[in-house]
Amino acid sequence: MGITKTQIFTDKQNDLAQVFKVLGHPARVSILQYISNQNACICNDLVAEIGLAQATISQHLKELKSIGLLNGEVEGKSMCYCINVKRWTEIQSQLNSFFNTTKSNCC
């Protein structure tokens, strides 16, 4: 696969593309839905809830953290995750702006 020319796009375009890429997996959407309905979440809870292996869950959590959607804290031997509300609000704003500026005067 060729190298993408991310430098020719704006920071906002690159950020939004990265968000779409990370959210483009149903397991990550499921993880976000589960965590957003909890006060906090421990990875082992996700394994039981989602039904994927612990290593797979950890990889998906890493991807969600990479775009800033999750905060994680060590609690004993476990990692506790919660939604980063500030980043979530930023992403919502980006999506609203993106979809509100799209003109639909075709077909």
Residues sharing a CB contact under 8 Å with residue 43, sequence separation 6 or more, in sequence order: 54, 57, 58, 61, 78, 79, 81
Q: Which fold has domain 10-95?
A: Arc Repressor Mutant, subunit A (1.10.10)
Express each pLDDT in 23-60 by its tens digit: 999 999 999 999 988 876 676 788 888 899 989 998 99
Reported as a single tens digit per residue, the pLDDT across 19-33 is 999 999 999 999 999
Q: Give CA–CA dist 39/82, Å, rounded.
A: 7
Q: What does the domain layout of the chain look like in residue ranges?
A: 10-95
pTM (2 d.p.): 0.81
The pair of structure tokens assigned to 103 is: 């003109």
* Burial tier of 68 (Cβ tally within 10 Å: 0-12, 13-18, 19+): middle
